Structure 1
Amino acid sequence: MSRPRCERCVRPLTHCLCALIPRLDCRHRVLLLQHPSESTHALNTARLAALGLANVQLAVGEVFAELQSWLATSDYRPVLLFPGEGALPLDTLAADDSGTPLLLVVPDATWRKARKLLYLNPVLDRLPKVTLRGGGVSRYRVRKAPAAEALSTIEAVAQGLNELEGSDRFDALLRPFEALIEGQIAAMGAETFARNHGGG
């Protein structure tokens, strides 16, 4: 028998995160494209990001039939948060002369599946690509990441909005994420965490 869950954060009621989730306004808009495999993941950080922001859209799928219409807006300049060759530093766009805010498109998937999203939705690959400032270390301590600076989706969104809007106020998005991680560590036990993730 499954445990009762919160309808909003979909966590078990005994571990509801809603009290920690902020509601933050932002000038720029965020479009989260979540691979279906991430939507049922216990650590669903894209959902936490979507709950914490006012100007956000979360879509789940592999092929997004409405993507072209979502991107075709004169109110925002769409860019894809995807590091690699030719990607521009995101914070350099904050000083753009046009004054038009960005539509920050963020794939929520493993690297392999994120590349598949770009392949299945070619319009994404045609967007200007942007990357975050380097040097950050992920707080996602219960995940085996390819590199220390490989961020979770909610960390990438928070850092990106901080870079664009010149403040640290989007750090508040990370409060439920950090509680989620601490809960996972407590559930596995300190010894198991230390053995599998190098914690101590």
Structure 2
Amino acid sequence: MSRIQCERCLRPQAHCLCPLIPSLASRTRVLLLQHPSEVRHALNTAKLAALGLRNAQLRVGETFDDLAPLIEVPGYRSALLFPGEDARPLAAYTKDPDQRPWLLVVPDGTWRKASKLLHCNPLLAALPRVTLAQVLPSRYRLRKAPAEGALSTLEAVVQALNVLEAPACFDGLLTPFDALIEGQIAAMGRETYERNHVRPIADKAAPPQ
């Protein structure tokens, strides 16, 4: 028998995160394009970002036939939050001569799935790219990062907004994320977590080869 889910956060009702999800206003608009494989993922961080931001939208799919009106919104300048050779580091609005707010398009999925979203949607791939000039360490303790500096979708959005809209802080979006991580650790047991997900201190201190 399947567990009853919360229709909003998609978590089992006994572990509903909705009381922890804020409702934050932002000048920046965030469009999250989620690969279908991520929808039922236990750690669906794009969903948390969409629920916690008033000026955010979540769309699920692999090919988006209606992408143009989603990314060409009057009054906004659109960019893809994704690494690339020509990616421009984000800076606070107060330091940018172009005062139009950003519309940040954020692909959500594994690196391979996110790259496929770009391949399947030429308009998406054609957008100018922006990145974080400085990436803070990830709090995603349950998954090995594919590369140094890798973040969950929610963490990337939070760090981007903290840069753009400083001194405003969007760390409140991470409250349900932290609770979700702690719940997963509790479910597997602390011993199992430490055995499989915590690197020994000696490994952390070891210099790169």
Q: TM-score, normalised by structure 2?
A: 0.91
Structure 1 residues 88 and 94, CA gap change in structure 2 (3 angstroms) = farther
2:136 is the counterpart of 1:136: yes
- Which protein shows a greater Rg? 2
Structure 1 residues 135 and 53, CA gap change in structure 2 (3 angstroms) = closer
For residues 58 and 78 of structure 1, the distance between their equivalents in structure 2, rounded to whole angstroms, comes to 16
**Structure 2 stretches of 5 or more lacking a match?**
201-209
Deviation of the 1:134 alpha carbon: 2.5
Q: Where in structure 2 are the equivalents of 1:161-176 lying within 5 Å?
A: 161-167=161-167, 169-176=169-176
Structure 1 residues 3 and 94, CA gap change in structure 2 (3 angstroms) = farther
Structure 1 residues 174 and 127, CA gap change in structure 2 (3 angstroms) = same
Q: Which moved more, 1:58-67 or 1:68-77?
A: 68-77
Assess if the C-alpha contact under 8 Å between 1:137 and 1:148 holds in 2.
Answer: no
**Structure 1 stretches of 5 or more lacking a match?**
none
The 3-state SS of whatever aligns with 1:107 is strand
Q: Deviations over 1:84-118 (max 9, x none)?
A: 21111012666332311010000001001111110
Q: TM-score, normalised by structure 1?
A: 0.95
Amino acid at match of 2:30: V
For residues 100 and 74 of structure 1, the distance between their equivalents in structure 2, rounded to whole angstroms, comes to 10
Question: Residue 75 of structure 1 corresponds to which residue in structure 2?
Answer: 75
Q: Which moved more, 1:46-55 or 1:3-12?
A: 3-12
For residues 72 and 172 of structure 1, the distance between their equivalents in structure 2, rounded to whole angstroms, comes to 29
Q: CA RMSD in A?
A: 1.5
For residues 197 and 44 of structure 1, the distance between their equivalents in structure 2, rounded to whole angstroms, comes to 19
Assess if the C-alpha contact under 8 Å between 1:134 and 1:149 holds in 2.
Answer: no
Question: Residue 62 of structure 2 corresponds to which residue in structure 1?
Answer: 62
Assess if the C-alpha contact under 8 Å between 2:71 and 2:105 holds in 1.
Answer: no
The 3-state SS of whatever aligns with 1:85 is coil
Amino acid at match of 1:39: V
Question: Residue 109 of structure 2 corresponds to which residue in structure 1?
Answer: 109
Question: Residue 157 of structure 1 corresponds to which residue in structure 2?
Answer: 157
Assess if the C-alpha contact under 8 Å between 2:92 and 2:165 holds in 1.
Answer: no
For residues 73 and 88 of structure 2, the distance between their equivalents in structure 1, rounded to whole angstroms, comes to 21
2:120 is the counterpart of 1:120: yes
Question: Residue 17 of structure 1 corresponds to which residue in structure 2?
Answer: 17
For residues 135 and 107 of structure 1, the distance between their equivalents in structure 2, rounded to whole angstroms, comes to 18
For residues 199 and 175 of structure 2, the distance between their equivalents in structure 1, rounded to whole angstroms, comes to 20
